[in-house]
Amino acid sequence: MPKQPFRYQQHERMRAVELVDMQSGGDVSRIVTRGVGHLPGGSVLEQMRYIQKYGDGFRRWLLNEPYGDPFMSVDLIVPPDNPKAQAGYIIMEAMGYPLYSGSNTICTATAILENGIVPMEEGEQLLVLESPAGLAYINARNRNGRVESITTRSEPAFVSAQDLVAYVPGFGQVPFDLVWSGAYFAMVDASALGFGLVSDEMPAMATFGRAFVEAARPAVTQEHPDLGHVGPLPFAHLMGPVERLGSDGFRSRSATYVHPGVICRSPTGTGTSARLALMYHRGEIRDGQWLETISPRGSTFAGKVLGAAQVGSYRGMSSEITGRAWTIARSEVLLDLDDPMVDVSDLEGVLNSHQI
């Protein structure tokens, strides 16, 4: 006799969300495709600020044990406000709510196309998504129902401050530069700290990253010239030496620390963009040239300089990042609102309109 499908008991205290789990460069993004009610606000930035203030339990639920892992990210698909965009998305991580993320954009764009949220076209396809930081312009290369690569261009990056110093216990005075690329990144020379940026060093890099970010935060602005308040410093980007590849290419190992306590598995798209912006500011790379970044796990992203841009009073740079995402799970995650392991004090309202 064939097995009957499992059916759970329905009751008024149960809620559910549908997820597509993707990975890009080793970083896992949980794409939420159904289960969240309407979020007040027009733009995706306004919707993000609403859930951040009134529904942060949703982020904590899907990223913390026993339902998740802080090494993951969550991307909530929401209606866009900008008429140029086909979909919007809110990014949630252990550190909070980054306004933009390259790996999350690669994963979200792939999930949107491969799951029919936006119909997939064979060959090259243009897609526009609205992130909290603004529009992400995406070029997808599709073949036989699969997305084989995503190239994403977001809002410009810029160097906000140079030659800053933080005193880090155990490491002394650590110089850094501050770059915006969807969030503020503290750019640190890894070689000066003795890091080779390999996988065996990830626990030590996480320990350094936590101490460094806590020490550096008092010296770092929480304001963006266009977006306003963006919160305390969330990221440190450890930079390895740069190797020249031919006339237009460069390669460098890197590692991105996410506060509190996470070293990314991927090279990170925003980290790569921040590195390009710093190199561009220093005159080390020019329009049309590219940089391949290599994570401690050996995965790679490619970033290309598109040209100069202006952000408020800052001279910035536009770039694009190319990578690929892979589907690792499709699931329905259930929550009993009486589960003592979950704080539902600011979660129930977000899920209220979707009972099982």
Q: Could you list the active site residues?
A: 101
Cα–Cα nearest to 43, from 85, 69, 81, 14:
81
Angle of CA points 310, 315, 316, to nearest 5°: 75
What residue spans of the chain are helical by DSSP H? 44-54, 57-63, 102-114, 202-216, 269-281, 348-351
Q: Do 221 and 229 touch, CB atoms closer than 8 A?
A: no
For every residue of 6-48, DSSP letters joined together read: P-PPP-TTEEEEEEEEEEETTEEEEEEEE---PPS-SSHHHHH
Task: Please compute Rg for the chain using Cα positions.
Answer: 20
3-state secondary structure of 1: coil
For every residue of 281-315, DSSP letters joined together read: HTTSS-TT-EEEEE-TTS-EEEEEEEEEEEETTEE
Cβ neighbours of residue 350 under 8 Å, at least 6 residues apart?
36, 37, 39, 51, 54, 55, 57, 58
Judge contact between 97 and 91, C-beta under 8 A.
Answer: yes
Q: Calculate the alpha carbon distances from 157 to 11, 102, 240, 275 in Å.
A: 48, 13, 20, 10
DSSP 2: P
Q: Which amino acid is at 172?
A: G
d(CA 284, CA 248): 11
CA distance 139 to 147: 10
User: What is the distance between the alpha carbons of residues 325 and 342, in angstroms, rounded to a whole number?
Assistant: 30
Least Cα distance to 165 among 179, 155, 175, 178 occurs for: 175
